[in-house]
């Protein structure tokens, strides 16, 4: 019973966060895509990569398009103020396209994850959803879970496209994640 309550609270927190203004962080726009890229390359080196090249390229294209779609209706607010390094404090609200894109990415993840298996159990899907929501809500969970190559590719492509789209469209976001200037 407690697992259902915890799961419900996690879903509520994730969905609610999608429709609230949250601070723009260098972690979400730069560090996570870069880390996911490195992990994707390392994971692919351990696999027999040759037969996965076409699949990887196809998936990267799809996921990059989803990442750009997720950034289409982002709302940006610039409250008066600066952080301790003199950068503007910027907040974004991700809105419906982000949530819809996240669901599509999750479904693709499940399809790929269980393509090798004859059956997909509800418990396995529930566990995967639980893990993905935790990774989205917590940096500790994101960096703690081990993932297959395609999950790293998915994370890298969607977060990179989402971040690049925001950085290209909003100069204030570029300034908010710029390297700090030491005094």
For residue 122, pLDDT beyond 70? yes
Q: What is the dihedral of CA 99, 156, 124, 19, to 10 degrees?
A: -20
For residue 183, pLDDT beyond 60? no
183: in domain: no
2: in domain: no
4: in domain: no
Strand partners, 92: 22, 76
140: in domain: yes
Query: For 157-180, how does the pLDDT look when each residue is reduced to its tens digit (9 = 90+)?
Result: 999 999 999 999 999 899 888 877
More confident position, 117 or 61? 61
10: in domain: no
User: Is the distance from CB of 149 to CB of 40 less than 8 angstroms?
Assistant: yes
Domain membership of residue 109 as a residue range: 19-81+88-176
Q: What is the pTM of this model?
A: 0.85
- Rounded alpha-carbon distances, angstroms, from residue 118 to 108, 121, 145: 17, 10, 25
User: Is the distance from CB of 116 to CB of 100 less than 8 angstroms?
Assistant: no
Nearest residue to 108 (alpha-carbon basis) of 39, 60, 69: 60
More confident position, 107 or 139? 107
**pLDDT, averaged across the chain:** 85
Identify the three-state secondary structure at position 91: strand
11: in domain: no
109: in domain: yes
64: in domain: yes
Q: How many domains does the chain have?
A: 1
């Amino acid at each position: 019973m407690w697992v259902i309550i915890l799961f419900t609270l996690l879903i509520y927190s994730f969905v609610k966060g999608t429709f609230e203004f949250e601070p723009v962080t260098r972690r979400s726009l730069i560090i996570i895509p870069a880390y996911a890229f490195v992990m994707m390359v390392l994971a692919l080196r351990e696999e027999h990569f040759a037969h996965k090249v076409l699949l990887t390229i196809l998936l990267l294209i799809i996921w990059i398009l989803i990442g750009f779609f997720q950034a289409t209706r982002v709302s940006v607010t610039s409250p008066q103020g600066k952080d301790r390094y003199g950068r503007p404090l910027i907040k974004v609200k991700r809105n419906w396209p982000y949530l819809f894109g996240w669901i599509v990415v999750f479904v693709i993840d499940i399809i790929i994850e269980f393509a090798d298996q004859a059956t997909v159990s509800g418990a396995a899907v529930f566990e995967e959803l639980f893990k993905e929501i935790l990774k989205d809500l917590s940096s500790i969970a994101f960096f703690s879970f081990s993932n297959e190559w395609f999950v790293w590719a998915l994370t890298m492509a969607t977060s990179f496209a989402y971040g690049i789209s925001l950085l290209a469209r909003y100069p204030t976001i570029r300034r908010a994640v710029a390297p700090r200037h030491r005094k």
